[in-house]
Amino acid sequence: MEQREEAFSKLQRFAYDNGMSLFGAADFRRYDKQLYLSASAVKGLHYAISIGVRLSARVLEDIETEPTRLYSWHYRQANNQLDKVAFQLANIIQSWGGQALPVAASQTVDWKKQEGHLSHKHIGVLAGHGWIGRNNLLVNPLYGSAIRYATILNDLPLPVGEPMEFKCGNCRECIKACPVGALGKTPESYNFDKCFQKLTFFCKQRNLGLYICGLCVKACRGENKKIAQGSQSCDG
């Protein structure tokens, strides 16, 4: 147990020292969503590390009715930072004699469904980072949905987190913010087609090179709204 916790602590410290906002581990055997990786690639990798980097509250504040070029740049940089740290964490695990597979933060492998190799948000749920909100995104208590995620599959028996219960309560801010009415009372109400049509429109209209929006991300502040909004003091 001490070795497991020591390994977790070292990896967590490295992640935090290199700009990550969240770090957790999950039992990958509990994952039941899409997986576009070969059986041989994931064989024996029973654990998943979930890392997250917070987006700038002020960059999100600049989004009013459509995604900005600043947000597009910021989004890319968050993904780049995640990929770099995931790559480094995988190398650390391998230097210890373990096996690791870093999964890109944002790489589409099924264009029609707009899915990556796996669902980082559902790995994040298993790692205890938060819950799937009405905006169909992972909601963290501190940062809301203003977090980008990446995953490192590995074979280290790290201490794992537990999923949180749905805590959106009576909040409907993301529903009000959605310009096409793609969100509803439950995460299952999410309308992918409406959402993606709007993302496609934004991408072409704004020449962003990315299928992004940011309006429901901006709206989702989590439980601690002062931190999510960028307050300088956690006390208030």
Per-residue model confidence as pLDDT tens digits over 17-66: 999 999 999 999 999 999 999 999 999 999 999 999 999 999 999 999 99
Residues 108-120 pLDDT 10s: 998 888 899 999 9
- Residue 232: pLDDT band (50, 70, 90) is very low
Measured in whole angstroms, the distance separating CA 131 from the mean position of its chain's CA atoms is: 11
Taking the C-alpha atoms of residue 215 and residue 195, their distance in angstroms, rounded to an integer, is 11
Element at 236 (helix H, strand E): none
pLDDT of the residue at 224: 66
Residues 156-208 pLDDT 10s: 999 999 999 999 999 999 999 999 999 999 999 999 999 999 999 999 988 88
pLDDT of the residue at 179: 96
pLDDT of the residue at 2: 65
Whole-model pTM: value is 0.92
pLDDT of the residue at 225: 61
Backbone φ and ψ for 7, nearest 5 degrees, come out as -65, -45
39 CB neighbour count, 10 Å cutoff: 7
Three-state secondary-structure class, residue 59: helix
- Residue 219: pLDDT band (50, 70, 90) is very high
Residues 121-149 pLDDT 10s: 999 999 999 999 999 999 999 999 999 99
Residues β-bridged to residue 139: 131
Residues 71-121 pLDDT 10s: 999 999 999 999 999 999 999 999 999 999 999 999 999 888 889 999 999
DSSP codes of every residue in 108-164: -SBTTTTB-SB-HHHHHHHTTS-EE-TTSSEEBTTTBT-EEEEEEEE--------PP
Average pLDDT, stretch 211-229?
81
Residue in the structure block whose two tokens are 């264009």: 111
Taking the C-alpha atoms of residue 68 and residue 235, their distance in angstroms, rounded to an integer, is 31
Residues β-bridged to residue 54: 147
